[in-house]
Amino acid sequence: MAPGKAVAERTRLADQAHKKAASEAAAIIENNKAKNLRCLTAKTQKAFFNTTTQWLSVISNFVSMIGIYYKRKEIKIPFHPTDSPAIATSACGLQTNSKKRDPTDGLKKSVERFRQYHIRMKPKI
């Protein structure tokens, strides 16, 4: 009977050691879960926190979009000229000529300005 009691005693001691190790492991696992949860909450808080530069860029984009919205009629005029040959007045008071120009108009005006400048600059003899 003594060998049976010795085996039973060893088994009982092994079970106790096993239960003790399992309870320690469960405590370690819970501590790790708590640490991970704290890390996750810290990361999510950092994810919603933006720097001053990021906030300024967002506000700048927002203001730009508002400006484009309010200037849309003035921006649209050069791309969509009116059909009438008369001079059209835009929303901002600028005048646009919707009829086609002669391509040599610019050259003629430049030559005329050149002549006027050099005629005035002629030395008196």
pLDDT digits (tens, 9 = 90+) for 1-34: 687 888 888 999 999 999 999 999 999 999 888 8
Question: How far is Cα 65 from Cα 63, in angstroms, rounded to an integer?
Answer: 5
Q: Residue for token digits 């979009």?
A: 65
What percent of the chain is predicted at pLDDT more than 70? 66
Residue 42's pLDDT band, with cuts at 50, 70 and 90, is: low
Q: Residue for token digits 């088994």?
A: 11
Q: Phi/psi at 89 (nearest 5 deg)?
A: -105, 130
Higher per-residue pLDDT: 99 or 69: 69
Integer CA distances (angstroms), 112 to 32, 61, 97, 109, 124, in order: 87, 46, 22, 5, 21
The domains of the chain are located at: 1-49
Cα torsion 55, 57, 63, 65 to 10°: value is: -120
Residue 44's pLDDT band, with cuts at 50, 70 and 90, is: low
Coil vs helix vs strand at 119: helix
Report whether 97 contacts 86 (CB < 8 A).
no
Residue 61's pLDDT band, with cuts at 50, 70 and 90, is: very high
Task: With a cut of 80, say whether residue 36 has pLDDT above it.
Answer: yes
Report whether 112 contacts 105 (CB < 8 A).
no
End-to-end, the C-alpha distance of the chain in Å comes to 147
